C-alpha cells in the first residue's frame, strides 16, 4: 500500500537547508495497511475510473485515509442545512466554522503544513518518463508499482474522443495526446492495451493529420527520444548566452533547451523501432520529403494558442539556413563549445541553488537530462535522482507529476489567516503553533550564491517560496502573504502560537518586497520584469503564451500592498517613506489595469472572480473604499452581475483562455469562485448596502459542507499565471479545491459575521504485431545513420554491465528494500522485454 512520507530525506546525495521540513513524497510499502484499507483503496480507485468523465479531479482519498488513521477527529457538532426561506443566524455560521476547522486541523502534518495533490497538467509526466528512459534509469527510478499507477493516471484522464488535453479538464490536443501515447508505451503498455484506449489514441492522432503536427515542445521531446530528427526543431543557439547582460533574451527553461538542441541529444529507440516501415501515424504516405518545411512549422488548430508570426518564421528560417551552418564551421565551432559550457554552468547554478529541485518540473527533467549527457557518472546527475519523487503524487486517479514540488507555504499562509479571522485561534492553538513554526522554518535566509547579476538572479534573503526553502525561489505574493500571517501570529499570545518571528527577519521580508516593485508600480512573481513585451513576438512555444518575461499581476501587486500595510501597523517607523511610495505606485498600477467592465484578469486562478477579489482587497488595504473609489464600485457591480440564480458564482477555465467571463456548464456554482466573489464584496462593504446577495451565496457554501466537515472536490480553480500562461493548463495550481476551499469558506463566513455585525525528416511509424515499432526514420541524415551504427556496435560490449548500472542507480537514490522485494513477484512489463539496450551508454552527443 502507498505511504505518504513527510519531512524526510535519508537518501544519499540529498541536501537540505532546513532538514527537509515540508518535503512530501510517496513510497510503496507492501506491509503498510490492513486488508480492509487496501480493499477500500481499490474501491476508491474503481469508483474514480467508473466516473472519470463526470468527475475529473481526484479528492486525495489516499492521503486522507492515512491522516484519518492517525489524526481521527470526531465532529460532535450536527450538520447544518439552510433552506431557501430561512435566515442565516450567527449560530449556524459559528457551527459551520467549528466543523470546518476541526476537520481541517486533522489534515495538518506535524511540521505544520498541509500536504496536498498539486497535479493537473498532462504534459509534465511524459518529459520525466522520456528522460528516464533515455538515461536507462526508468525501471530503477520508477519501479513496477510506480509505472502501473502512472498508466492508471493517464488512462483515467484520457478524453472520451481518445485524446488527452493540456490538463485534465482540457479538450484533446496533439501535443499531449502524442506524448501520452509515447509515455504509455515506454511504461510498458502494449500497442492494444488499455481495453481499447491505445487504439483510440492512435485513431485520434491519425484523424487529426498525424503526429507530424505535434507542436515544438513535443518535437523537442521526440528528438530527445531519438525518434524525430533534431534538424526538425527550430534552433536555439547557445551562443545567445554569451551576449552581454543588457541584451533582452529570456533565460529560464530556454537554457536547458538550447543545450539539448545544440548538443543534439539522440537516443535510438531500438526496443520499439523495428526494421519495418509503415505509415503508422503519418497521414501523408511517401510524400513527406517534398513537404518538410510545413512539418517543421506544422501544428493543429487545437494546439495553437500563440501562432508564429511572419517575423518569427523569418527569424527561425535565418537561424536554420545561415546562422547555424556558419557557427558549426571552424573556427566558429570553438564558440559553440564555449557557449555550451556556459549554458551548463547556468544549469549547474540553478540545480545547486535549488537543491536539485529546480524552479519547476519542466526544468527538472531537462536539467537532469543535460547533466546526464554531460557526464552520466557526475555528482550533479546523482543529486538529481532522489529529488524526482518530490514531484510525484498519488491519489485515487493514479500517480502524476505535479506542477511544483508542492504548495506548502502558500497553503499555510492562507490557513493561518483563515483560522485567526474566526476569533477561535486559542481553540486551535496547536494547529496555529505548528503552522507558525513552519512559516519561520520556510523563510529564505540567504541570497543565492555568487554574483547575482552574473547568474540573472534577484535577491532572495527574507523572502518566502511557494513551497519549501529548498526550492530556493522566493515569490512576491508568497512573501507578502507569509508576512501578513507572521504579523497576525505576532499579535497572538506566545503561549498559544509560539514566539513571534524576529523583527529583523520581517525587515528582510519588507526589503525583498520593496525591491520587487517595477517602475510602473506593479509586481511580477519571481523577479523584476527585466525585458520587453515585444519579446513575445519570438515566443516559439505555440501552445503557451506570455512566457518570455515575468509580467506584473494584480494578485502579486495586491498582496504586496496588504503585506506592507500590515507591517507598517506593527513597525510604523521602519522605512515608512519607501513603503508609502511603494503602496501609492502599486495602487495606481491596479487602477490602470482594471478592465472596462470593472473586473481584473486573474492570472493565477480562474479567473475574473479571483483577479477582482485581489483588486478590491488591494485597494481597500490602501485606504480606499466603495464611496471614494470608482474602481471599487465598478468591481462590485461586475461581481454582482455574475451571481447565478442559485446564489453562487461558477467560472469556467475558458475565461482564462478566451479572456471573456464564461460560466461553468449549466450555470453551476463553484464553492471557491463563490468564496472569492463574496470576499471581494464583503471587503467593499456590500453588507451595509444590500446584504441579500451575500446571504444567498452563504447558503450555497453552508449547504455544500459534507457531514465530516469537509467540502466536496469540484473543478480545478487554477491556471498557471501569465508568466507561464499555459492558458488552460494549470501548471502552477495555486489552489486545489478540496482542502483549501475550507480556507476560503472560513474567511467568507467570518467576514459575513463581522459584516452583519517543427518538421519530420521522413519519419515513419509502425504499430505491428510482434515487434511494435513506433516511429522510424527512413533517412539517416546529419550523422543519424552513423550514430545508430555506433550504438548497435556498442550494445553487445555494454550489455553485461547493464545490471550492475541499474543496481548502482537503485543504491544511489536509496530505493527501499520494500521496492526491491515487491519487484521480485512482478513480471517485467512487455516493453522491458523488447528493450535489451536500456542503459546509459546508448545516448551520445552528436558531433557539434
Extract the C-alpha cell encoding 480. 507578502
- Would you call 477 a catalytic residue per the annotation? yes
Q: Which residue among the candidates 390, 470, 477, 550 is catalytic per the annotation? A: 477
**What 3-state DSSP class applies to 265?**
strand
Are 69 and 36 spatial neighbours (Cβ–Cβ below 8 Å)?
no
Q: d(Cα 846, Cα 848) in Å, to the nearest integer?
A: 6
Among 523, 516, 501, 495, CA closest to 443 = 501
Q: d(Cα 357, Cα 380) in Å, to the nearest integer?
A: 12
Among 601, 590, 606, CA closest to 557 = 590
Q: d(Cα 462, Cα 484) in Å, to the nearest integer?
A: 14
Q: d(Cα 602, Cα 638) in Å, to the nearest integer?
A: 14
Q: d(Cα 570, Cα 84) in Å, to the nearest integer?
A: 43
Are 561 and 496 spatial neighbours (Cβ–Cβ below 8 Å)?
no
Q: d(Cα 434, Cα 496) in Å, to the nearest integer?
A: 11
Strand-pair partners of 167: 121
Strand-pair partners of 202: none
**What 3-state DSSP class applies to 215?**
coil
Q: d(Cα 438, Cα 446) in Å, to the nearest integer?
A: 17
Q: d(Cα 673, Cα 632) in Å, to the nearest integer?
A: 18
Q: SS3 helix, strand, coil % of the chain, rounded to 5?
A: 50, 5, 45
User: CB 46: neighbour CB atoms within 10 A?
Assistant: 11
Among 377, 407, 668, 657, CA closest to 545 = 657
31 burial level (CB within 10 Å; 0-12, 13-18, 19+):
exposed
Cα torsion through 418, 420, 423, 426, rounded to 10: 130
Long-range Cβ contacts of 625-631 (<8 Å, 24+ apart): 625/684, 625/685, 626/684, 626/685, 626/689, 631/590, 631/591, 631/594, 631/598
Among 515, 531, 459, CA closest to 246 = 531
Are 35 and 421 spatial neighbours (Cβ–Cβ below 8 Å)?
no
Extract the C-alpha cell encoding 621. 488595504
What is the sign, positive or negative, of the torsion defined by CA atoms of 374, 377, 378, 380?
positive
Interacting residues of 48 by C-beta distance below 8 A, sequence separation 6+:
55, 58, 156, 396, 397
**What 3-state DSSP class applies to 663?**
strand
Among 626, 644, 643, CA closest to 635 = 626
DSSP characters for 508-569?
A: HHHHHHHHTB-TTS-B-SSS---S-GGGGGG---SS--S-SS---BHHHHHHHHHHHHHHHH
Q: How far apart are the first and last CA of the chain?
A: 48
Extract the C-alpha cell encoding 356. 536539485
Catalytic residues: 477
Amino acid at each position: 500500500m502507498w505511504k505518504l512520507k513527510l519531512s524526510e530525506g535519508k537518501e544519499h546525495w540529498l541536501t537540505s537547508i532546513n532538514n527537509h521540513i515540508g518535503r512530501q513524497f510517496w513510497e510503496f510499502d507492501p506491509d503498510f495497511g490492513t486488508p480492509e484499507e487496501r480493499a477500500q483503496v481499490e474501491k476508491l480507485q474503481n469508483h474514480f475510473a467508473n466516473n472519470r468523465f463526470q468527475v475529473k479531479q481526484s479528492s486525495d482519498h489516499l492521503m486522507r485515509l492515512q491522516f484519518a488513521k492517525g489524526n481521527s477527529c470526531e465532529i460532535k457538532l450536527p450538520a447544518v442545512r439552510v433552506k431557501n426561506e430561512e435566515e442565516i443566524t450567527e449560530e449556524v455560521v459559528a457551527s459551520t466554522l467549528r466543523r470546518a476547522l476541526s476537520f481541517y486541523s486533522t489534515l495538518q502534518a506535524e511540521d505544520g503544513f498541509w500536504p496536498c495533490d498539486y497535479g493537473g497538467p498532462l504534459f509534465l509526466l511524459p518529459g520525466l518518463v522520456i528522460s528516464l528512459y533515455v538515461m536507462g534509469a526508468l525501471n530503477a527510478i520508477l519501479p513496477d508499482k510506480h509505472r502501473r499507477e502512472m498508466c492508471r493516471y493517464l488512462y483515467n484522464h484520457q478524453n472520451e474522443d481518445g485524446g488527452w488535453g493540456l490538463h485534465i479538464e482540457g479538450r484533446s490536443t496533439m501535443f499531449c495526446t502524442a506524448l501520452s501515447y509515447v509515455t504509455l508505451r515506454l511504461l510498458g503498455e502494449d500497442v492494444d492495451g488499455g481495453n481499447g484506449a491505445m487504439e483510440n489514441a492512435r485513431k485520434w492522432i491519425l484523424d487529426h493529420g498525424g503526429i507530424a503536427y505535434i507542436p515544438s515542445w513535443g518535437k523537442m521531446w521526440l528528438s530527445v527520444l531519438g525518434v524525430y530528427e533534431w534538424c526538425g526543431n527550430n534552433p536555439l543557439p547557445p551562443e545567445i548566452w554569451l551576449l552581454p547582460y543588457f541584451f533582452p533574451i529570456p533565460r529560464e527553461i530556454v537554457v536547458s533547451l538550447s543545450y539539448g538542441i545544440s548538443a543534439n541529444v539522440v537516443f535510438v529507440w531500438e526496443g520499439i523501432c523495428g526494421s519495418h516501415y509503415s505509415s503508422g501515424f503519418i497521414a501523408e504516405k511517401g510524400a513527406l520529403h517534398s513537404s518538410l518545411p510545413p512539418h517543421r512549422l506544422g501544428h493543429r488548430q487545437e494546439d495553437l494558442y500563440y501562432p508564429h508570426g511572419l517575423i518569427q518564421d523569418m527569424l527561425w528560417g535565418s537561424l536554420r539556413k545561415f546562422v547555424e551552418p556558419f557557427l558549426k564551421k571552424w573556427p566558429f565551432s570553438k564558440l559553440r563549445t564555449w557557449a555550451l559550457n556556459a549554458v551548463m554552468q547556468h544549469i549547474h547554478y540553478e540545480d545547486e541553488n535549488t537543491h536539485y529541485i529546480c524552479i519547476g518540473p519542466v526544468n527538472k527533467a531537462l536539467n537532469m537530462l543535460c547533466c546526464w549527457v554531460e557526464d552520466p557518472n557526475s555528482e550533479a546527475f546523482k543529486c538529481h535522482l532522489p529529488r524526482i519523487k518530490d514531484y510525484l503524487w498519488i491519489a485515487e486517479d493514479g500517480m502524476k507529476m505535479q506542477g511544483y514540488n508542492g504548495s506548502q507555504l502558500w497553503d499555510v499562509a492562507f490557513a493561518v489567516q483563515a483560522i485567526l479571522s474566526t476569533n477561535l485561534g486559542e481553540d486551535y492553538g496547536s494547529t496555529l503553533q505548528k503552522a507558525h513554526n513552519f512559516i519561520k522554518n520556510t523563510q529564505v535566509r540567504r541570497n543565492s550564491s555568487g554574483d547575482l547579476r552574473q547568474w540573472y538572479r534577484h535577491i532572495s534573503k527574507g523572502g518566502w517560496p511557494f513551497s519549501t526553502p529548498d526550492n530556493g525561489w522566493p515569490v512576491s505574493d508568497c512573501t507578502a502573504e507569509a508576512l501578513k500571517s507572521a504579523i497576525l501570529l505576532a499579535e497572538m499570545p506566545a503561549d498559544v502560537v509560539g514566539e513571534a518571528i524576529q523583527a529583523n527577519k520581517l525587515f528582510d521580508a519588507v526589503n525583498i518586497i520593496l525591491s520587487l516593485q517595477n517602475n510602473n508600480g506593479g509586481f511580477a512573481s519571481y523577479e523584476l520584469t527585466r525585458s520587453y513585451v515585444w519579446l513575445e513576438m519570438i515566443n516559439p512555444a505555440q501552445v503557451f503564451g506570455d512566457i518570455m518575461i515575468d509580467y506584473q499581476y494584480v494578485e502579486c501587486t495586491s498582496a504586496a500592498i496588504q503585506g506592507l500595510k500590515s507591517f507598517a501597523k506593527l513597525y510604523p517607523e521602519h522605512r515608512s517613506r519607501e513603503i508609502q511610495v511603494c503602496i501609492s505606485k502599486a495602487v495606481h498600477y491596479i487602477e490602470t489595469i482594471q478592465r472596462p467592465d470593472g473586473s481584473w484578469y486573474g492570472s493565477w486562478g480562474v479567473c475574473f472572480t479571483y483577479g477582482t477579489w485581489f483588486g478590491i482587497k488591494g485597494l481597500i488595504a490602501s485606504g480606499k473604499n466603495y464611496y471614494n473609489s470608482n474602481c471599487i464600485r465598478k468591481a462590485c457591480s461586475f461581481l454582482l452581475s455574475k451571481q447565478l440564480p442559485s446564489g453562487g458564482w461558477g467560472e469556467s477555465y475558458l475565461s482564462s483562455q478566451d479572456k471573456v467571463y464564461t460560466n461553468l456548464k449549466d450555470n453551476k456554482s463553484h464553492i471557491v469562485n463563490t468564496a472569492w466573489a463574496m470576499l471581494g464584496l464583503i471587503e467593499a462593504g456590500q453588507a451595509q448596502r444590500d446584504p441579500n446577495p451575500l446571504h444567498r451565496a452563504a447558503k450555497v457554501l453552508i449547504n455544500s459542507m459534507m457531514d465530516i466537515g469537509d467540502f466536496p472536490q469540484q473543478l480545478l480553480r487554477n491556471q498557471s499565471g501569465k508568466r507561464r500562461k499555459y492558458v488552460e493548463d494549470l501548471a502552477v495550481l495555486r489552489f486545489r479545491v478540496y482542502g483549501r476551499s475550507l480556507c476560503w469558506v472560513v474567511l467568507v463566513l467570518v467576514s459575513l459575521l463581522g459584516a452583519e455585525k517543427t518538421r519530420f525528416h521522413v519519419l515513419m511509424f509502425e504499430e505491428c504485431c510482434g515487434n511494435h515499432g513506433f516511429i522510424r526514420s527512413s533517412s539517416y541524415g546529419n550523422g543519424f545513420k552513423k550514430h545508430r551504427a555506433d550504438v548497435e556496435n556498442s550494445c553487445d560490449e555494454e550489455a553485461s554491465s547493464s545490471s550492475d548500472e541499474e543496481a548502482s542507480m537503485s543504491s544511489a537514490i536509496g530505493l527501499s528494500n520494500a521496492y526491491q522485494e515487491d519487484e521480485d513477484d512482478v513480471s517485467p512489463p512487455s516493453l522491458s522485454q523488447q528493450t535489451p539496450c536500456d542503459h546509459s551508454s546508448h545516448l551520445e552527443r552528436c558531433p557539434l
